[in-house]
């Protein structure tokens, strides 16, 4: 792997890769690493059984990890159900 990431960045990349709705293109846009580098990182950072489960899920026909497989109307990286971070101590209901 060409780039070195700190622990927080590595955790975020793994979290984004694990989510089904986050495309590899979003990871590349934010961190500058390709799909193959993400796969390499997942292989080294996850347990072998967890990596196999993730690869099986990503390679399945229902995965949305590539923008080409997604609905063409979707042009954002953020999920519509994702809440905005407001940093308020009192939650708004």
- Domain hosting 79: range is 1-93
Binning pLDDT at 50, 70 and 90, where does residue 4 land? confident
Number of domains within the chain? 1
- Rg of the chain on CA atoms, in Å: 15
> pLDDT at residue 86 above 80?
no
Mean per-residue pLDDT for 59-87? 60
Which of the four pLDDT bands, split at 50, 70 and 90, describes residue 38? very high
Identify the residue with better confidence: 66 or 40: 40
| Helical segments of 1-93, H only | 7-18, 24-31, 35-45, 48-59
Q: What is the mean pLDDT of residues 17-45?
A: 90
């Amino acid at each position: 792997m060409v780039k070195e990431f700190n622990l927080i960045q590595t955790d975020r990349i793994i979290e984004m890769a694990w989510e089904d709705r986050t495309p590899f293109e979003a990871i590349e846009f934010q961190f500058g690493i390709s799909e193959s580098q993400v796969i390499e990182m997942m292989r080294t950072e996850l347990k072998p059984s967890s990596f196999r489960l993730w690869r099986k899920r990503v390679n399945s026909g229902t995965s949305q990890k590539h923008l080409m497989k997604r609905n063409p109307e979707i042009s954002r990286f953020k999920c519509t159900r994702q809440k905005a971070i407001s940093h308020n101590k009192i939650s708004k209901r």
